[in-house]
Structure 1
Amino acid sequence: MSDEHKHGEMDITVQEKTFEGFIRYVTYGGVFCICLLIFIYAVNG
């Protein structure tokens, strides 16, 4: 237990890319759902 945690030393590029991809797909999914609901509302008027 002699190793002390030093903030900011870990390489997190993979985690950052994964998070960016997750946010991108969630955003596209949300926009798709909203567009789908608008389309369904327009068709069923």
Structure 2
Amino acid sequence: MADHEHGKMDITEHRKTFAGFIKLASWVAGLSILALIFMALTNA
């Protein structure tokens, strides 16, 4: 088994995936807020 060296692993894909997740979560939160505002304005 190879020795583990802290900080040597390539995490490029992990960073891209996390950035995508944050972008998706931001869109979902924004759309949810807009939907709630729309519902409040139309007395739904």
TM-score range, shorter chain: 0.7 to 0.9
Q: Deviations over 1:4-36 (max 9, x none)?
A: 321110000001000000000001100100110
Q: CA RMSD in A?
A: 1.5
Give the TM-score normalised by structure 1.
Answer: 0.85
C-alpha distance in 1 between matches for 2:7 and 2:36: 43
Aligned to 1:19: 18
Secondary structure in 1 aligned to 2:9? coil
Uncovered stretches (5+) of structure 2, i.e. residues with no partner: none
C-alpha distance in 2 between matches for 1:11 and 1:4: 16
Give the TM-score normalised by structure 2.
Answer: 0.87
Report percent identity of matched pairs. Answer: 41
How many residues are aligned here? 44
